[in-house]
Amino acid sequence: MPDGEMNPRAALDPRVNTPGREGLTGTAPASRYSAIRDAEQISIPPDFRPADAQPAWRGDFPIDWPQDQYVERRDFMKFMVLTSFAFVVGQCWVAFESWWRARRAPAVGQRIASVDDLAIGAAIVFDYPAPHDNCVLVRVTAQEFVAYSQKCTHLSCAVIPRPEQGILHCPCHEGVFDLRSGRVLAGPPPRPLPRIALDIRGRDIFATGVESRTS
């Protein structure tokens, strides 16, 4: 700047470029704008020793362990909330299935066999109510017939009637059901076998419904 000319910036604020205010507009000292050392931005090594006592490589990989642990827990919490949502979806699916089951038409009667087809202690397998729903009909006494779904309530293996022992046996995991009631006598099955309602008309045996039970 030639001598004799007035500095326009100095005219505006004569304090600009004075020591401590370099480059500023003169409204605050330079120290006011120095970098702030936030305690939460300081990397803490896992052994909590000071930075001078750390190996040299840690300076190249400054992992902030408390922050790392915090982020881990936050991510785990997000995962748990996602799991919670999955459970709600599962509940809604069960509710939808329940609604759909209630809408379906009730099972109609279906002839299974003739009384004369079964000797006492004999059993036959039939499908009811759908073609692939296997059931078993057992003649316990001359006048008493029982029928159950053949799917074990544990993992859906086929149960085998043993009328001489008064049980139905699941060979997969040694589940045992009472022949007369279908209730669980032993093993892992959580529920009794679904009972098939029977109706004997003349000499014919009809299945008229499925009765699921929780206990």
Partner 1 sequence: MALRRPFTRDQRMTVILGMLAFVVMLVLLQLWLLTATMNAYLGGDDSVVWPAAGASAFCFLLNVGLLRYLSRLERPTRESG
Q: What residue ranges bind partner 1 (CB under 8 A)? A: 36, 39-40, 66-67, 69-70, 73-74, 76-78, 80-81, 83-85, 87-88, 90-92, 94-95, 97-98, 101-102, 153, 190-191, 194, 211-215
Lookup: tokens for 14: 């004569």
Name the minimum Å distance from CB 156 to partner 1.
11
Name the minimum Å distance from CB 13 to partner 1.
22
What are the two backbone dihedrals, phi and then psi, of residue 91, each rounded to the nearest 5 degrees? -65, -40
- Tell me the one-letter amino acid at 12: L
Name the minimum Å distance from CB 129 to partner 1.
14
Name the minimum Å distance from CB 179 to partner 1.
20
Nearer to partner 1, 1 or 102 (CB): 102
Cα(100)–Cα(121) distance, integer angstroms: 38
How many angstroms separate the Cα of 175 from the Cα of each of 117, 154, 157, 178, 190? 28, 8, 10, 10, 10
What are the two backbone dihedrals, phi and then psi, of residue 38, each rounded to the nearest 5 degrees? -75, 130
Nearer to partner 1, 63 or 200 (CB): 63
